[in-house]
């Protein structure tokens, strides 16, 4: 019964999403994409909607969260993209130092380590390092969130365990 009510209410509030999406994105095409993603998330999570509450408010919160997560992800991506190869190489030379208790990884070493990770560990860790949340990665890979957390933990461990090998190669 609740599912039918949900699906009957949804079309009534869809028209209210576009103006808010345009306000957030300031681009009609991006706003349409944001609306579509919001509706997909709402349908995937309709069991989390509390009957008797405002569906419009619930959808707008979902939209805002999607927009903010995408914005943060883009900012992080742009920040790392702005490094030129020269800056990365210079940072690698400058940052490589050995301490008896810890070692600072350079961007180059981290990339080498990530390239050496086994298949699913590599993909999972790359998504994690790009700013995706555990649940988003689990949804993309169609795996349980516990599996994703475990893979990320194991990938970190593999990277830590390979640090001495990288340091010797660059000494």
Q: Tell which residue, 78, 105, 112, 108, has the closest CA to residue 90.
A: 108
State how far the alpha carbon of 44 is from the alpha carbons of 3, 84, 93, 99, 139, in Å. 12, 40, 47, 48, 11
pTM score of the predicted model: 0.48
pLDDT at residue 167, rounded to an integer: 41
The per-residue pLDDT string of the chain (171 residues; one tens digit each, 9 = 90 and over) reads: 467 778 888 888 888 999 999 999 999 999 999 999 999 999 898 888 888 888 999 999 999 999 999 888 888 777 766 655 556 555 555 544 444 334 444 566 667 777 778 888 888 888 888 788 889 899 988 999 999 999 988 888 887 776 544 344 433
């Amino acid at each position: 019964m609740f599912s039918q009510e949900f699906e009957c209410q949804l079309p009534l509030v869809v028209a209210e999403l576009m103006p808010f999406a345009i306000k957030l994105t300031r681009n009609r095409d991006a706003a349409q994409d944001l609306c579509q993603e919001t509706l997909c998330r709402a349908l995937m999570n309709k069991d989390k909607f509390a009957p008797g509450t405002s569906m419009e408010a619930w959808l707008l919160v979902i939209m805002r969260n999607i927009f903010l997560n995408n914005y943060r992800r883009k900012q992080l991506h742009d920040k790392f993209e702005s490094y030129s190869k020269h800056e990365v190489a210079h940072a690698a030379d400058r940052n490589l130092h050995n301490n008896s208790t810890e070692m600072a990884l350079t961007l180059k070493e981290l990339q080498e380590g990530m390239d050496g990770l086994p298949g699913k560990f590599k993909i999972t860790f790359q998504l994690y390092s790009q700013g995706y949340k555990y649940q988003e990665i689990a949804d993309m890979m169609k795996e349980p969130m516990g599996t994703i957390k475990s893979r990320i933990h194991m990938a970190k461990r593999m990277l830590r365990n390979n640090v001495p090998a990288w340091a010797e190669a660059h000494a």
